[in-house]
Structure 1
C-alpha cells in the first residue's frame, strides 16, 4: 500500500513523497485517539481515519505542494522532507507523548497451513490488500478517471491540452496515497503501537520496492514489495533478521547495477 501510494504520487506529480509514512502515522493517531478516548469500534475508527487521510492529502496538495511547484520541481521533494519534521513535531502537541494501542480487525486466533502458523487477521489483511490493489488497477485501467490519471502520468502538459483536469487528478492522487499510507499504519499498529516512528521501516521498504520494481509502472512497486517481503522473511528465518536485511538490500543494489530502471521499468527516450 505504501509503495503504491508513493508510485501514484510520483507518476502524477513527479514528486518523491518522503512523508508518505508520516502522513499515515498522523492519521493512525486520529484512529488511536478515537478508539482510546471515545471507545469507538475499530471498524468505525478505520473508516473515520480514511476520511481524515483523504482530507489530509487534499490539504497538503492544495496548500503546500501546488504552490511549491511554481518555484521549482526540486522544491516539492524538499518540502516532503520538511513535512516529516512538521508532522513528527505536531504529533506530541496534538495527541500527547504516550503511544496508542490499536486492536486487530479480526480477534486473535490462528490456523496452521503447511507447517506455518497464520493468524486469521493476517489472512484478512492479505485478502483486503490484494482486493484493494486489484480494484485500484481495474479503476486506473477501465474508468475515465483512471484514464485521466494515466494521461497525467504520461505527460501533464499534454493532458492539460487535451482538457484533463490535471490539478484535480493530482489532488485525488495525494488523497488516495494518504489513505493507502493510513491503511498501512492501521495494519502495522496492532503488531507494535501507534508511535511517531511506526512506519519508518515500511517507508524505507516501500522506496526500495519502488526502485526494485520500477516507478514507470503502477504494478512495479507492488511486485517489488512482495519480492522484498518474501526475501526478508526467508533470510530472517534461515540466516538472521539483521544479516537477512543486509543481504536482501545488497542483492537489490547489485540487481540495479545491471538493470537501473527496475524490474518492470523502461528507459524513456525523447525525440526532439
Structure 2
C-alpha cells in the first residue's frame, strides 16, 4: 500500500500533464529526482528540519515546473505529440546533467519523516512512517480529486483536458491551467521522491523504477480519466507486494508485468479507459 501511494502520486502527475498538455511526460521521474536532491541538500548541508527542507523542495518543484512550461512546452503548440514526448526525453538528459553539477555524484541519505516505530497486524508489520506515507498519499489523492470535481480551477482543468481550443473560446485561461498542471506534477513528484528516498539513497536513478511503474499504471488505468491511473497504481503496488511475498521474491515484479501485458491485450484502453470514436 505504501508503494502504491508512491506510484499513485507519480502517475497522477503524469496524467495531469497528459490531460492538459497532451504530452506524455517521460521526465516526471527525473524532475522528481532533482527536487528530491534539493530536499536532501537543504537537510544535509544547511541543517534545516526535514519538514522545512521538504517545503523548500516543493517550492523548487513548482518553480521548475513553471519554467519547463513557460520556456519550453509553451513554444511547442504546433509540434506533434510524438515530438513533445521526445522533448521530455531531452529534458531527462538535461536534468541528469544538471544534478551532478549542483549536488555532486556521491549518494546522499535522506531519513524518514518518522524515524522509528512499527505496528504489527495479522503477523505483518509496517512502520509508522509507512502508515504516514499511506495516509498522506490517500489524503493528497482525495484533495486533488476534490479540487478537480468541486472547484473552479478543477472545472478549468477538466475543460482544458476535454478540448483546449473550446476552453479558450469560453474564456478559460488555458496557459495558466497548463502552467499550474506542470507545477502540481512537480509537487507530486517530489513528495513521491521524499517517500522513496529513505528506502534507498538519493542518486540519479532514484526515481527510475517509480517512473516506469507510474507509466505502466497510466496504461493499466487508462489515459482518458484522472482517477484511472491512480487506481492502476494502487493495484500494481498491492499486487506486486503480494506476488513478491507469496509467489517469488525474485520474479514477483516480472510476473506482475506479464499479467498486465495479458490484460492489456484483451482490454487495450485500460481499466477505466474507453475507446474514442471520431465521427466524420
TM over 0.5: yes
Q: Does 1:174 align with 2:182?
A: yes
Name the counterpart of 1:47: 55
Name the counterpart of 1:27: 35
Q: Which has the higher contact order (CA 8 A, sep 6+)?
A: 2
More displaced stretch, 233-242 vs 24-33: 233-242
TM-score norm. by structure 1 comes to 0.98
Residues in 2 aligned to 1:191 and 1:241: alpha-carbon distance in whole angstroms: 17
Residues in 1 aligned to 2:79 and 2:13: alpha-carbon distance in whole angstroms: 24
Name the counterpart of 2:192: 184
Name the counterpart of 1:244: 252
Name the counterpart of 2:91: 83
Residues in 2 aligned to 1:200 and 1:170: alpha-carbon distance in whole angstroms: 25
User: Which runs of 5 or more structure 2 residues have no equivalent in the other structure?
Assistant: 1-8
Kept after mapping to 2: 8 A contact 1:3/1:210: yes
Name the counterpart of 1:125: 133
Q: Does 1:216 align with 2:224?
A: yes
Cα RMSD, aligned residues only: 0.9
Q: Secondary structure at the match of 2:109?
A: coil
More displaced stretch, 107-116 vs 170-179: 107-116
Q: Does 1:270 align with 2:274?
A: no
Q: Secondary structure at the match of 2:18?
A: helix
Residues in 2 aligned to 1:58 and 1:76: alpha-carbon distance in whole angstroms: 17
How far did residue 242 of structure 1 move? 3.3
How far did residue 163 of structure 1 move? 0.8
How far did residue 99 of structure 1 move? 1.4
Residues in 2 aligned to 1:99 and 1:41: alpha-carbon distance in whole angstroms: 20
How far did residue 98 of structure 1 move? 1.1
CA deviation string 1:37-91 (max 9, x = no partner): 1110000001111011000000000001111233333221101001111111111
User: Which runs of 5 or more structure 1 residues have no equivalent in the other structure?
Assistant: none
Q: Does 1:137 align with 2:140?
A: no
Q: Secondary structure at the match of 2:251?
A: helix
How far did residue 231 of structure 1 move? 1.1
TM-score norm. by structure 2 comes to 0.95
Residues in 1 aligned to 2:14 and 2:243: alpha-carbon distance in whole angstroms: 26
Kept after mapping to 2: 8 A contact 1:3/1:206: yes
Residues in 1 aligned to 2:263 and 2:80: alpha-carbon distance in whole angstroms: 32
Q: Does 1:231 align with 2:239?
A: yes
Name the counterpart of 2:268: 260
Residues in 2 aligned to 1:129 and 1:207: alpha-carbon distance in whole angstroms: 18
Q: Does 1:193 align with 2:198?
A: no
How far did residue 197 of structure 1 move? 0.2
